[in-house]
Amino acid sequence: MTIFIVCIALLIFFYVLYTIGRRHVSAPVQTAPSCGTCDGHDSRCEQECMMEAATKDIVYFDDEELDHYRGRPSDSYTDEEAEEFREVLFTMRPDETREWNRSLILRGVNVPDQVKDELTMLME
């Protein structure tokens, strides 16, 4: 009978150790990409960030003068007009280019075809 009690006590002891040990083991935290970490390779992240940006105030990059191009097709700009976009583009930090592009999209301003390659290179 004593052996039976000792076995039951050991079983309870190991069960308590096992459950305490499991409480301290936590699963790794899964983090979803945020708009701050969105690198352009995940289309879902880009889409979610665009939807999130649409609910916020539009951020201007000292480029209000570009608003008069609202609704204009990207292939209809003259070289002089495209230069206005270039001036704004080259005065910003590379990490701001993605947000500037979102700002233009939300404002309905299409980037001129002449500037798209440069914008894309800076966004990468």
More confident site: 75 or 10: 75
Question: Which H, E and C letters describe the chain, residue by residue?
Answer: CHHHHHHHHHHHHHHHHHHHHHHHCCCCCCCCCCCCCCCCCCHHHHHHHHHHHHCCCCCCCCCHHHHHHECCCCCCCCHHHHHHHHHHHCCCCHHHHHHHHHHHHHHCECCCHHHHHHHHHHHC
Of 45 and 107, more confident? 107
Whether the per-residue pLDDT at 18 is higher than 90: the answer is no
Give the residue with greater pLDDT, 34 vs 123. Answer: 123
State residue 111's pLDDT score. Answer: 96
Q: How confident is the model at residue 38 (pLDDT cuts 50, 70, 90)?
A: low
Give the per-residue pLDDT at 79. Answer: 96
Which residue has better confidence, 36 or 63?
63
Lowest average pLDDT, out of 22-31, 33-42, 110-119, goes to 22-31
Q: In the prediction, which pLDDT does 84 show?
A: 96
pLDDT at position 30 over 60? no
Distances (CA, A) of 57 to 4, 52, 92, 93, 94: 72, 10, 20, 21, 22
19 exposure class (CB count in 10 Å sphere: 0-12, 13-18, 19+): exposed
Q: Which of 122, 87, 85, 121 is nearest to 104 (CA)?
A: 85
End-to-end Cα distance, the chain: 74
Whether 1 has a pLDDT exceeding 90, the answer reads no
